[in-house]
Every structure is written in structure tokens, then in C-alpha cells.
């Protein structure tokens, strides 16, 4: 039961019922008071009319007047005040000297007094020829008259409370059902299900929650799809060097590699090991870029010094490939020099991979930007928007041109973003690709 009251449905039911019961009780109390006031007012009006009529009967005794009243108001007592001030009749005990003096002075009387602990209505009228007629009616008799009305009101209150409980339960169920459905869908999403139907429910706030959950479902589906493709690409790329390493390792273990082939095999093993090392380094870099402890050290430096370092670092590789690397321009940057060097190394490596022998890779610096250009096969128009999405270009061109791990451009884009800049890709009409790094 405590769990039910802790739920939204239980709380809505409890609040609705509490408010309804409070409203019903307040309405009932007001209704009872109004009925009582109405009964008292009506009794006073009747008593006043009877007193006025009886006062016009000449010489009537208290007994005669009582007999007449018993036909109209059976619970009313009568007293007759004679011209000499004497009082007779059952209601004489309620008539005091001050009241007698007032009536003998020909002044009517209409009051409610508390006699013998009971509120009592008194209506008195001067009679013709002297004296007066006094009519008394206690409120106890009026309470009996209102008893039936009070019972009917109490029954109505009880029915109202029952209706409020039922309505509150139905309202809580109506409001809680879409939330329960949405929570169940969220749990299914957490368990790995995707593409779940989410109906927009009213009220609007719950519909907004359902829409947000549907958006999250779509985003998770897209993200997991990309991750799946990425993992498939990575697993394929990792298996290639591992297969080569295993093949040569088994050949060496079986004594199938002659002494004259050992150097070549060793070079192949080193190359494949370096390839695996680049893979692992790229994956670690991606993990670091996703982490919150990725630190940026900002300093001011000259781009010309940085470009010379890049040229010297890749000169050996360029000589092996028969490609020329050129640098141009100068500017002063205020950013993390090592991270920018990391970006340029990645872009130069990507350019050298697709550059044919005899071509040139150019790295140019200008205020606010650095450009890396190559004369390779370039990029298609459809490649420009996805060039920095990990693994996409790798999947597109794996069988058409030399490709890397599929992570280099993605890492470069994330690094530039961490530096507060942007990176764009373009394809020159004569062939080749151009990557522009813009910094604040």
C-alpha cells in the first residue's frame, strides 16, 4: 500500500479525493447551516403571523388560543397577558416583567432568548381591548423539524464522497497510464530494444516526455549503428595485420623461412606491428578526446617554426614515397602548439597516403588558419559533409585507394573542436584535396 501511495497515480488519487472530500464537507456544513437558518426564519415568520392573528381575537383565554394553535403549530406554547398585567397559559414562565411592560405599552415583541438552556423564539403582540398574546417555540422542536433534511444532506454528502473517491481513482489511472507505458518503454530501451513505438498521450507534458523519449530512441539507434559500423571496420582492419603477423610467426616456428629471407620478413613484421600500433594509438586518442580530463595548454608561438618541425618530421617518409613536402607562410597563433602539431601530422599523413610519386604536399600558414593540400584523387562532393565522420571514407574507398584506419580525420576534427576552431574539407577541380584548419 505504501508503494501505491508513493506512486504518481496514488498521489493524484489521494489529492483529488482529499480536495473533493474537503469541498463536500464544507458544502455540507454550509448547507446544514442554511437549512437551519431557513427553518428558524420560516418558524419566526409563522409564529409572527399566528401571534398577529390571535391578538385580534377579543377576550380569548390561553386555553382557547392553545386549542387553535394545536391545529396549526402543535409544538407552540401560548401565554395571555391581561390588561392588569396578570399572565396565564403554559408559556407564562417565559414572560418577565420587562416584557409585560413593553406589551402593555402597545409595543410588539420578537426576540430569541435562552431560557432553561434552550434557545427559544418569542413572538408577542398587543391584543385588542388591552393585554397581549405571547407565542413561544423552542429551537429543539425546530431541530426535530430539520432532522429529516439533515439526514438527506448527510446521505448526499456520503454519495458525493464515494463519487469523489471513484473519480479520483479513475483520474489517477488516466493520468498515470501513459507514464507507466512510457516508463516501460524506457526500460525496454535500456535493455537494448530500439525502434519502439511511442504514442503521444495527453496531457501535453506527458506527450512531450514521449516525444523526447522517441527522439532519444532515434539518436541511440543512429549512434549504435555508427558504432557497429565502426567496430566492424576496426575489426577488419585489425585482422589484416594480425593475420600477417600470425602467418609469418607460424612460418618462422615451422622453420619455413630461410636465413636469406629473415630480414625481409622482419621488415614486414615491423611494418605490420607499426600499423597495429597506429591503430591502438588512434583508439586511445579518441578515448582521450571523449574524456573530461583532456587538457589544453594555450601559448603564443610562430607558425613558421611549427611548419619546419612538421616538414622535418615527414621528410624521410616523403623521400621513400617520392613525394615532396613544401611549407609556406607565417603567422602567430595563440593555442596549444602540440595539439595543433598533432592535427597537422594527421592531415599530412592522410595526404601522403593518397599522393602519387612525383606530387607535392603543401602546408601553408596564414593568420587564423593552416591549409594542407595534396594532389591525390581528391574527394567527391558527397564526401565533403562526412569526411570527418569516423570510418565512412574508409568504408567507401577501402577497395579503390590506399586508406588508413578510418580514424585520422575524425581525430583531427575533434582536436580542432577542442581548440575552439573548425576544420573543413574541399576538393580542387584539378584533383587533390584541401583541408583548412581555422583557429580563433
Residue 321 resides in a domain: yes
305 and 328 co-located in one domain? yes
What are the helix and strand counts (H, E) for the chain? 11, 12
Task: Report the 10 Å Cβ neighbour count for 421.
Answer: 20
321 and 364 co-located in one domain? yes
Rounded to an integer, what distance in angstroms lies between the CA atom of residue 283 and that of residue 231? 11
User: Hey, what's the cell of 204?
Assistant: 501535453
Number of domains in the chain: 3
Query: 430: closest CA among 345, 382, 359?
Result: 359
Give the SS3 label for residue 86: coil
State the alpha helices, DSSP H only, in 90-138: 97-104
Q: What is the CATH number of the domain that holds 273?
A: 1.10.287.130
Rounded mean pLDDT, 178-193: 74
Q: How far is CA 327 from the centre of its chain?
A: 54
249 and 329 co-located in one domain? no
Residue 169 resides in a domain: no
pLDDT band at 335 (very low <50, low <70, confident <90, very high): very high
Residue 182 resides in a domain: no
Residue 184 resides in a domain: no
Instruction: Output the pTM of the full model.
Output: 0.44
310 and 283 co-located in one domain? no
User: Hey, what's the cell of 299?
Assistant: 601559448
pLDDT over 60 (residue 1): no
pLDDT over 70 (residue 226): no
Domain-terminating residue out of 289, 307, 340: 289
Residue 165 resides in a domain: no
Least confident segment among 242-246, 276-280, 342-346, 399-403: 399-403
Residue 317 resides in a domain: yes
Domain-terminating residue out of 234, 258, 289: 289
393 and 283 co-located in one domain? no
Q: Write the burial class of residue 225 (CB in 10 Å: 0-12 exposed, 13-18 middle, 19+ buried).
A: exposed
Rounded to an integer, what distance in angstroms lies between the CA atom of residue 289 and that of residue 295? 9
CA gyration radius for the chain? 51
Give pLDDT tens digits for 119-156.
778 888 888 767 888 888 876 666 665 666 777 777 87
Give pLDDT tens digits for 371-387.
999 988 877 787 777 77
Rounded mean pLDDT, 193-215: 69
Q: What is the CATH number of the domain that holds 80?
A: 3.30.450
Give pLDDT tens digits for 260-282.
878 877 877 787 787 677 667 76
Are 438 and 369 spatial neighbours (Cβ–Cβ below 8 Å)?
Answer: yes
> What angle, 0 to 180 degrees and rounded to 10, lies between the N-to-C axes of helices 408-418 and 262-290?
40
Task: Report the 10 Å Cβ neighbour count for 44.
Answer: 18
34 and 14 co-located in one domain? yes
Give me the sheet containing 422-427, strands edge to edge: 324-328, 360-366, 369-373, 433-438, 422-427
285 and 327 co-located in one domain? no
110 and 217 co-located in one domain? no
Residue 19 resides in a domain: yes
Q: Write the burial class of residue 80 (CB in 10 Å: 0-12 exposed, 13-18 middle, 19+ buried).
A: buried
Domain that holds residue 321: 295-438
Amino acid at each position: 500500500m505504501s508503494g501505491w501511495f508513493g506512486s504518481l497515480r496514488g498521489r493524484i488519487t489521494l489529492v483529488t479525493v482529499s480536495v473533493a472530500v474537503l469541498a463536500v464537507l464544507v458544502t455540507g456544513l454550509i448547507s446544514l447551516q442554511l437549512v437551519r437558518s431557513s427553518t428558524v426564519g420560516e418558524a419566526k415568520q409563522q409564529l409572527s403571523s399566528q401571534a398577529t392573528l390571535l391578538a385580534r381575537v377579543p377576550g380569548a383565554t390561553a386555553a382557547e388560543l392553545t386549542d387553535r394553535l394545536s391545529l396549526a403549530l402543535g409544538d407552540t406554547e401560548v401565554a395571555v397577558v391581561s390588561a392588569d398585567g396578570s399572565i396565564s397559559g403554559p408559556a407564562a414562565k417565559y414572560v418577565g416583567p420587562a416584557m409585560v411592560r413593553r406589551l402593555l405599552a402597545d409595543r410588539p415583541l420578537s426576540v430569541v432568548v435562552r431560557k432553561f438552556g434552550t434557545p427559544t423564539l418569542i413572538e408577542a403582540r398587543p391584543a385588542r381591548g388591552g393585554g397581549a398574546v405571547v407565542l413561544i417555540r423552542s429551537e429543539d422542536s425546530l431541530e426535530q423539524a430539520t432532522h429529516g433534511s439533515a439526514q438527506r444532506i448527510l446521505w448526499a454528502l456520503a454519495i458525493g464522497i464515494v463519487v469523489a473517491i471513484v473519480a479520483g481513482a479513475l483520474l489517477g489511472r488516466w493520468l498515470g497510464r501513459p507514464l507507466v507505458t512510457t516508463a516501460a518503454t524506457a526500460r525496454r530501451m535500456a535493455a537494448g530494444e530500439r525502434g519502439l513505438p511511442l504514442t503521444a498521450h495527453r496531457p501535453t507534458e506527458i506527450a512531450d516526455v514521449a516525444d523526447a523519449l522517441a527522439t532519444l530512441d532515434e539518436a541511440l539507434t543512429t549512434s549504435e549503428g555508427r558504432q557497429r559500423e565502426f567496430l566492424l571496420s576496426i575489426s577488419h582492419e585489425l585482422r589484416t595485420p594480425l593475420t600477417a603477423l600470425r602467418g609469418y610467426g607460424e612460418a618462422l616456428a615451422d622453420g619455413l623461412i630461410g636465413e636469406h629471407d629473415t630480414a625481409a620478413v622482419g621488415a614486414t613484421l615491423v611494418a605490420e606491428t607499426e600499423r597495429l600500433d597506429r591503430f591502438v594509438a588512434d583508439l586511445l586518442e579518441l578515448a582521450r578526446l571523449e574524456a573530461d580530463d583532456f587538457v589544453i595548454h594555450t601559448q603564443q608561438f610562430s607558425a613558421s617554426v611549427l611548419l619546419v618541425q612538421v616538414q622535418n618530421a615527414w621528410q624521410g617518409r616523403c623521400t621513400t614515397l617520392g613525394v615532396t613536402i613544401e611549407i609556406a607562410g607565417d603567422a602567430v597563433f595563440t593555442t596549444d602548439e602540440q595539439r595543433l602539431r598533432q592535427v597537422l601530422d594527421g592531415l599530412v599523413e592522410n595526404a601522403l597516403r593518397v599522393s602519387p610519386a612525383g606530387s607535392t604536399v603543401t602546408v601553408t600558414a596564414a593568420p587564423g588558419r593552416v591549409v594542407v593540400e595534396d594532389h591525390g584523387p581528391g574527394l567527391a562532393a558527397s564526401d565533403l559533409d562526412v569526411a570527418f565522420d569516423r570510418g565512412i571514407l574508409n568504408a567507401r574507398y577501402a577497395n579503390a585507394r590506399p586508406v588508413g584506419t578510418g580514424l585520422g580525420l575524425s581525430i583531427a576534427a575533434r582536436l580542432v573542436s577542442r581548440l575552439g576552431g573548425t576544420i573543413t574539407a574541399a576538393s580542387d577541380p584539378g584533383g587533390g584535396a584541401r583541408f583548412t584548419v581555422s583557429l580563433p
